[in-house]
Each structure stands twice: as structure tokens, then as C-alpha cells.
Homo-oligomer: A and B are copies of this chain.
Amino acid sequence: MKKFTGTKLKIFETALKLFAQQGYKATTMRQIAKEIGIQQSAIYNHFKSKEAILDAIIEQLSHSYLINVFENKEPQDVYKKGRGVLKNIANIFKLMTYDTKTDLLFRFLMQELFNNSKLRVFYNEDFYQKNVKKLSAIFFMMMQDEMIESMDPLFLANEFFSPLFFYQLQITRLKADNQSTSAAATLFEKHAEFFWEKIKIKEPKQETLF
């Protein structure tokens, strides 16, 4: 993963910000240049075209937190923590919304999702499928260990994932209007807690002898 520096980095960051705020098409090269304080033609010393900037941003997406909700941990190494796993995942979603760059990348992703097929492939494979399948594997192991009720693990993964995604979208929207996100930010953890309580297998009440 190549990191940009100097002017090239500034162009990249400014473009990401503007693309996320206004959309790719609505953002002009002059606007990017002006924000940095350089001439528009100077951009072309760093990126061959406007689309090249777009490609660089999409490339960056692959290395962002967005697709690393599990921090590269394997299902069999974490599933035993039960409720803790869910809370941990919820917390990573929460942290993402606090990280300015991840937030911009997410907003950019949502902004361009429906008119960029390359992004849809990324979203589906690297973001949605990857996370849901890993979640599914975790739930499956929990079922085998009789920690949670038995059912379709992939469906369960979708049910757990979707509110997290939705709350993230909500926060991104609120930020776009400079509104407070604190109330929404609590929903991640509440969701994990609520969800676990609903799927866990309750310990059979121990009959008291006296």
C-alpha cells in the first residue's frame, strides 16, 4: 500500500473530501486546486486524470477499516468470547464513525455506490460479503458449542450486521448536517447487547435444594 506525501497527498485528501461531500461528478479540478492553493494544471503532475484520483481513492478503500471489522482475527479464535465478540464488532463500527478518514471513505462509498459498478463490486465482495461470511462462521461455531440457538447462521449474520450498517449511515448523515451524533453512537453497543440477549441460550435455572 503506497502512501502519498506532499502535494500529491493534499490532492488526494482534498479530492476525497470534496467527492464525499458533493459527489465525484460535481467536484471540479479547479475546486480541488483552489482549496489547496495551487494551479489546476499542477494536479496533472501527480495524477494523470480526474479518474485517476477516483481510482486511487477506491484503491484506498481496500485498506481502510471499513473492510477490517474483524481486525484479521479468525472466527475460531474469537467465537468463545460470546457476547464479547459482538460487543467488539459493534465497537469497531463506533470507532469508525469517529475516525474522520474512514467516515469520509464511507460517505464517498455511499455517494457513488449507485453509479459506479466498480464500487458496487467492492462494496459487495470486500465489505458486505466478507464481513457477513465471517460473522456467519462465528455464529455457526457458537451454535455448535450450544452458546446460541441453532438457526441459519448466514441469516443471523445479516440480522446482526444490518443495524450496525444502518446506524453508521445515520451518523454519516447527521454529520453531513453538523448535527449531534452522540445519541446515535450509543446504538451500536445497545444493539450488540440486545442481540446477544435474544440469541443466547439461557442457562437452565439451577433448582435450589433449600
Contacts and interface: CB of A to CB of B under 8 A. Distances in A.
A191 interface: yes
Copies of this chain, whole number: 2
A114 B173 contact: yes
Contacts of A199: 198
Contact of A162 (B128, B163, B172): B163
A194 B157 CA distance: 13
Contacts of A190: 155
Contact of A173 (B111, B123, B162, B167): B123
Contacts of A158: 163, 166-167, 187
Contact of A165 (B107, B117, B166, B194): B166
Contacts of A111: 111, 114-115
A177 B26 contact: no
A114 B124 contact: no
Given A124-B173, A163-B163, A194 B155 contact: yes
B166 A120 contact: no
A167 B26 CA distance: 29
Interface residues of A, number: 38
Interface in A11-53: 20-23, 25-26
A176 interface: yes
A177 to B, nearest CB: 6
Q: Which 10 residue pairs across A and B have the least CB separation, nearest first?
A: A162-B166, A198-B198, A162-B163, A25-B25, A25-B26, A111-B114, A23-B115, A22-B115, A165-B166, A166-B166
22 contacts: A21-B114, A21-B115, A22-B115, A23-B114, A25-B25, A107-B114, A110-B113, A110-B114, A114-B176, A117-B176, A120-B173, A120-B177, A128-B170, A155-B187, A158-B163, A158-B166, A159-B163, A162-B163, A162-B167, A166-B166, A198-B198, A198-B199
